[in-house]
Amino acid sequence: MDKRITVIGGGPGGYVAAIRAAQLGAKVTLIEKEALGGTCLNKGCIPTKALYRNAEVINNMKNSEEFGIILEDFKIEVEKIQQRKNSIVNQLVTGVEQLVKANCIEVKKGRALLESPNSVKIIYDDENFEIIEADNIIIASGSSSFIPPIEGVNNEGAITSEEILNFKEIPQDLVIIGGGVIGMEFAGIFNSFGSKVTVVEALPSILNMLDGDIVKRLTPSLKKKGIDIHASTLVKSIEKQEEKLIVKVEGKKGEFTLEGDKVLIATGRKPNVEGLNLDFIGIEYDKKGIKVDQNYETSVKGIYAIGDVNGKWMLAHAASHQGMEVAERIMGIDHKGSELIPNCIFIFPEISSLGAREEDLKNNGVVYKTSKFLFGANGKALALGEGEGFIKVISDEDNRVIGVHILGPHASDLIHEAVVVINKELKVEDIKSMVHAHPTLSEAFYEAVLGLNNEAIHLAPARRK
C-alpha cells in the first residue's frame, strides 16, 4: 500500500508509529523539534530510572551489614551520577536515531503546524518553513509539566521534574508538591540520596489511582524511611527567604509552613495541544487532550492522536502501543488493541498494577474474590533481603483473574505475567496447571492465585467461621 504518513513528535508514540508504518511500506516523515525519544527518553522515564538505580545501590550499601559486608563509609559524587545518567540517555537516543535512519524515515527538525487535513507546515529554527503533504497525519506531541496557579510558584528553587533531573547538589530539604507517580518516585530517590523529603498531596492519599491495600501498606513504610507525607493538604504559597523556600500549606489541622532548599512541582502533566493549529482545521480537544474515537482517530478523518496528547493514559508504553495500532490500521491491518495498561511505579519497594481495583468492584456491586501472598513468605525475596510487600490477586465470579496489584521486589517485571493472564482471560484452574520455577519471585504470584480457591500451599488457611 502506497501511503504518505507524517508523524508529529518523535517520542515513544511517534517514533514507534513511524517505524511500524515504514516497516509496512509507507513513506514516513517524522517531525521533532528537539531530540528523538521525547520526554520519556530525554527528560522522564529513562533518566529517572537511571537515578532510581543509583538510589537502589545506595540502599543496598546502607543495608550491607545484613549481608555480612561492613562498609566504613561511602560518599556520593553527583557529577558521576549525572555522567552515568546522561550516558544512558545518549546511548538510547543514538539507538533510536539509527533505527529511524535504518527504516528510511525522513526526519525534519522543526515545529509542526497543521495546514489542512492532508498537509503540515514545518517551521525551522531560522524561521524558514516548508509545507509537506500526507495521506495521513499522526499527532504524537506528548505532554509537559502542569504548573498550578500557586503564589510564588515561579520563585527560584521551585522546579519541575525536568529541572530536578539535572541537580548539581543534593538538597538537604526537599519539599514535593504532588503525591502522584512523579512526585513519589523522586521522593524515594532523594530520600535514598540523603535529602529530608516532605510530600504535600491535596487528595486524601498519595497514589490515589492504586488499589487501597497497596497505599495502606506503602504509606507507613515510606514514613518509616523518613519521608513525611501530608495528605488532604493544600499549598497556599511559596515564598523565598534568603537561601530557603517557605511553603505555606493548609491541612486538616489548619495552616503551617514547610521549609526546603528546593520545591519540586509534581502536580501532573498536561497534553501539548497548543501551537498545533487544531482549531484551524477543526480538531476537537479540551483540557484533557485531543478527543479521539476507539481507533485514536480525531474529529478530522485521517488524522490520529496517540500517547499523552489524547490524555487517555500518560504512559510511554501506552503511547508506543497506540502508535503501532494506528500505523497498522492506516496500512490496512486490523490491529486489536488492548486497554489493559500496566502501571509501574519505581519507588522502594516497587509497585505495579493491572486491571480491577477492589474499591471499584465493591462500589459497583460486583461479585469478586481476593487473595494476597506476602513476599515475607517467599524464599527468593528473603534471599534478596526484600521481603517487604505482597501480591494481591482479584478474580470474578467465574474464577477469572481480573486484577493484580503488587508491592515488592521487581514488581515492574512480575506484572507481565498478569498482563498475559488477564488479557487471555485465564481462570485460576489454568494458572494452577502452570509450573513456576523455584526459588523465584514469580512463585508469589502463583501462590496468590491458588489462594483464591484456598489452595495455596505456603499460605495459612483462612479460619473457618
Hey, which residues are catalytic here? 438
Under a CB-based contact definition with an 8 Å cutoff, are residues 382 and 345 in contact?
A: no
Sorted by sequence, the CB contacts under 8 Å of residue 34 that are 6+ apart come out as 42
Tell me how far apart the alpha carbons of residues 324 and 290 are, in angstroms, rounded to a whole number: 19
Under a CB-based contact definition with an 8 Å cutoff, are residues 148 and 67 in contact?
A: no
Q: Which residues of 272-283 are buried (b: 16+ CB within 10 A; e: fewer)?
A: bbeebebeebeb
Cβ count within 10 A of residue 461: 9
Q: Which amino acid is at 278?
A: L
- Whole-number Cα distances in Å, 54 to 60, 83, 167, 228: 10, 12, 14, 22
Tell me how far apart the alpha carbons of residues 7 and 12 are, in angstroms, rounded to a whole number: 12
298 phi, psi to nearest 5 deg: -80, -175
**The CA-based dihedral angle spanning residues 305, 311, 317, 319, taken in that order and rounded to the nearest 10 degrees:** 10
Under a CB-based contact definition with an 8 Å cutoff, are residues 400 and 392 in contact?
A: no
3-state SS class at 358: helix
Q: SS3 for 74-111, per residue?
A: CCCCHHHHHHHHHHHHHHHHHHHHHHHHHCCCEEECCE
